[in-house]
Amino acid sequence: MKNNKCVFLDRDGVLNRERGDYTYKLEEFEVLPRVPEALALLKENGYLLIVVTNQAGVAKGLYQRTDVLACHQKLQESCNTLIDAIYYAPHHPNYSESLSRKPDSLMFEKAIAKYNIDAGASWMVGDTLRDLQAAAKVGVASILVGEQHPAQTHPWQAQDLWEAAQLILQKTKKPA
């Protein structure tokens, strides 16, 4: 069976606007500029697109799983249903321990097994170091996005998902 290549994506701060607080209300869930275009470009180049997101507000009782699912539905609709799967960890260490929650890697491991993903040919795009730590645990290369990180924080950095997609395609081009 063929191994698939994948781009794992954090949600808040990569796909939708990071509010600095929990994003669970539909009216506050805003897909970032150029995200649909970046996802389409990655998809055209043969990548599976899988979201891996911590949603600790569920464990804290701030919102419900149905709120998370409604935001994910809005995300899919805004991005032409290009996302192949969305994994979320509704846990918080003060309330419920879980190996799914990043920086642990269980969400990645489940996706890799289910979709026959080649970790060595895959990428993670995240906006926090815990996103990158989780990816490293399973051998997935990563790109740090966002302007809040100083230059040289991580070997591969980009302003946003569009720039990250360009970097991924540049790094994976086969020589002619």
What CATH number corresponds to the domain at position 24?
Answer: 3.40.50.1000
Residue 2 has a pLDDT of 67
- Residue 148 resides in a domain: yes
How far is Cα 133 from Cα 63, in angstroms, rounded to an integer? 27
- Residue 7 resides in a domain: no
- Residue 118 resides in a domain: no
- Residue 2 resides in a domain: no
Residue 166 has a pLDDT of 97
- Residue 29 resides in a domain: yes
| Whether 108 contacts 8, CB under 8 Å | yes
The arithmetic mean of pLDDT across residues 97-125, rounded, is: 93
The arithmetic mean of pLDDT across residues 89-110, rounded, is: 84
- Residue 155 resides in a domain: yes
Checking if the pLDDT of 176 tops 70, the result is no
CA nearest to 90, candidates 105, 80, 100, 78: 100
CA nearest to 161, candidates 43, 14, 5: 14
The contacts of residue 103 (CB under 8 Å, 6+ apart) are 129, 130, 131, 133, 134, 137
Residue 20 has a pLDDT of 81
- Residue 1 resides in a domain: no
Checking if the pLDDT of 17 tops 90, the result is yes
How far is Cα 56 from Cα 63, in angstroms, rounded to an integer? 9
Checking if the pLDDT of 59 tops 70, the result is yes
Two tokens, residue 36: 């649909």
Question: What is the pLDDT confidence band of residue 1, given thresholds at 50, 70 and 90?
Answer: low
- Residue 4 resides in a domain: no
Question: What is the pLDDT confidence band of residue 173, given thresholds at 50, 70 and 90?
Answer: low
Residue 32 has a pLDDT of 96
CA nearest to 120, candidates 172, 156, 173, 160: 172
Total number of domains constituting the chain: 1
CA nearest to 125, candidates 18, 3, 12, 43: 12
Q: Which domain holds residue 94?
A: 12-113+123-164
How far is Cα 148 from Cα 127, in angstroms, rounded to an integer? 9
Catalytic residues: 10, 12
Q: Mean pLDDT over all residues of the chain?
A: 92
Checking if the pLDDT of 124 tops 70, the result is yes
Checking if the pLDDT of 92 tops 80, the result is no
